[in-house]
Chain A
Amino acid sequence: QSALTQPASVSGSPGQSITISCTGTSNDVGDFNFVSWYKQSPGKAPKLMMYDVTSRPIGISNRFSGSKSGNTASLTISGLQADDEADYYCSSYSRSHTLIFGGGTKLTVL
């Protein structure tokens, strides 16, 4: 159960778009559409931002979008805002009937 691979950090200016990648294998990301994304602000519990690759929970801005190609899923945030600054984690179901998280990506809004 190796962690999914995410970039350690990404950054962007307000109004710009950024994309966070999440790379797994054919045993997890590549085999299932059970990829979800979570936002975690310092000292807080994670918050669901995206599920089933492309679905947004009620209340999440349409500035957030998800996609997947092969073994890599992505979260794109458009129109960056200061409040988007946080750590972001992807998660995927795997063939071993477990969940795997990515290592996390620190998003900095410049």
Chain B
Amino acid sequence: QAQLMESGGGVVQPGTSLRLSCAAAGLKFSDFPMHWVRQAPGKGLEWVAMISYDGTDESYADSVKGRFAISRDNFKNTLYLHMNSLGVEDTSVYYCAKEPAKPEAGMSHYFYMDVWGKGTTVTVSS
């Protein structure tokens, strides 16, 4: 059974950097496009970024573009989110999530997520 586990969250000061990790188990990680989604306290879900199964295609929400970078290591079965220039507005629970299958030829994504991790909390505060 596919499982995802995020780590790397914590309390950091504004302007600093942080790297989140998402360890995958019970699946052939290299087949699946992956996403990061966040949720600020008491707020709704916000899509952050996605990456293709082979890491060649990345996309970001405008709110994080130029500050965050998504990457993956298919040998380590791990997804990453590198976060720079953190602001208080980035305080959230960060979830990683997988897409349902390896995309068919000509497609990069299925654009929905069937398995989610439990999330890791990032608090940006002075």
Contacts and interface: CB of A to CB of B under 8 A. Distances in A.
Nearest to B116: A45
B45 A101 contact: yes
B80 interface: no
Interface majority SS (helix, strand, loop, mixed), chain A: strand
Given A91-B47, A99-B47, A101-B45, A48 B59 contact: no
A38 interface: yes
Interface stretch (B12-20, B22-30, B69-77, B107-115): B107-115
B61 A52 contact: no
Contacts of B61: 1, 98
Contacts of B114: 48, 51, 57
Interface residues of B, number: 25
Given A46-B95, A99-B50, A103-B44, A52 B112 contact: yes
B61 to A, nearest CB: 6
Interface string B35-53: 1010000001111001000
Residue of A3, A46, A87, A89 contacting most chain B CB atoms (<10 Å): A46
Given A1-B61, A1-B62, A51 B112 contact: yes
Contacts of A45: 95, 116-119
Contact of A36 (B59, B95, B111): B111
Interface residues of A, number: 26
Given A91-B45, A91-B47, A102-B44, 10 more contacts: A3-B44, A34-B111, A36-B111, A38-B113, A46-B116, A51-B110, A52-B112, A89-B45, A98-B59, A103-B44
Q: Which 6 A-B pairs have the closest CB atoms?
A: A36-B112, A104-B44, A34-B111, A45-B116, A93-B111, A99-B47
14 contacts: A34-B111, A40-B45, A45-B95, A45-B119, A46-B95, A48-B113, A51-B110, A91-B112, A93-B109, A98-B59, A98-B61, A99-B47, A101-B37, A104-B44
